[in-house]
Amino acid sequence: NAGVTQTPKFRILKIGQSMTLQCTQDMNHNYMYWYRQDPGMGLKLIYYSVGAGITDKGEVPNGYNVSRSTTEDFPLRLELAAPSQTSVYFCASSYSSGSGNTIYFGEGSWLTVV
Amino acid sequence: QKEVEQNSGPLSVPEGAIASLNCTYSDRGSQSFFWYRQYSGKSPELIMFIYSNGDKEDGRFTAQLNKASQYVSLLIRDSQPSDSATYLCAVNRGNRDDKIIFGKGTRLHILP
């Protein structure tokens, strides 16, 4: 049972480059999330999705884009990478957002922009 | 005011003692509350959730919720060195607002 799988695990980008962080889940969860975590800080919600074809902005969406064409996949696109986007990125999923519905996290993607 | 606030710590607690972690939230309409544990370099893992006022116990962990004071806490009894981690409080507003917002976490250090 793979759960939530993120790729790549580590990446170094140059300023101005673009890239996509891939996320897939095999639990048939409706809800998917992208968070970023800066050193010593908590998780900040970038984007989330409540189902295929539906996405919405979180707390810190600027500089990112997402799509949700299937239930399983929720890629995060970074356009024109900036040093401020250096962070650990976590993809997560849950059946719903309510009580008792655990959020399952991927292992994280460490991104450095230089 | 930040949506979810936690003292960043570190909180140092002797082994075997009770560790008390606190969290306040700003949105009075919040409905579900979660505590996650995160070891360094790892992803968060759920410890407990609570949505009703009062206490909820699970093994050595007790979550306490006071909606009137907009306050949720986590007690860890008989603290063990393996409990040393960062504890993240998370809040969901419900009512079709499906965002789950995290605090910045409290670092807990259990002293052997």
Q: Judge contact between A29 and A52, C-beta under 8 A.
A: no
State the pLDDT at residue A100. Answer: 58
User: What residues in A contact B100, CB-CB < 8 Å?
Assistant: 33, 45, 97, 103
State the pLDDT at residue A97. Answer: 58
State the pLDDT at residue B110. Answer: 97
Task: Indicate yes or no: CB of A105 within 8 angstroms of CB of B104.
Answer: no
Place of tokens 């009137």: B68
The region of weakest confidence among A3-7, A90-94, B49-53 is B49-53
State the pLDDT at residue B94. Answer: 67
Place of tokens 């908590």: A42
The whole-angstrom separation of Cα A50 and Cα B96 is 10
State the pLDDT at residue A43. Answer: 92
Q: Quick check: B53 contacting A, CB < 8 Å?
A: no
Considering only the beta carbons, identify the residue of B6, B43, B101 that sits closest to A106. Answer: B43
Which of A99, A104, A107, A109 to probe the B interface (max B CBs under 10 A)? A99
Averaged over successive runs of 10 residues, the pLDDT of chain B (112 residues) comes to 85 97 92 93 92 94 96 97 96 73 94 93
Buried b (16+ CB within 10 A) or exposed e, A60-95: bbeebebbbeebbebbbebeebeeebbbbbbbbbbe
B68 CB-side CA count, 13 A: 2
Q: Judge contact between A47 and B100, C-beta under 8 A.
A: no
Show Cβ contacts of residue B57 under 8 Å, excluding neighbours closer than 6 positions. none
The whole-angstrom separation of Cα B49 and Cα B63 is 8
What is the pLDDT confidence band of residue A99, given thresholds at 50, 70 and 90? Answer: low
SS3 state of residue B45: strand
The whole-angstrom separation of Cα B28 and Cα A30 is 26
Task: Indicate yes or no: CB of A45 within 8 angstroms of CB of B101.
Answer: yes
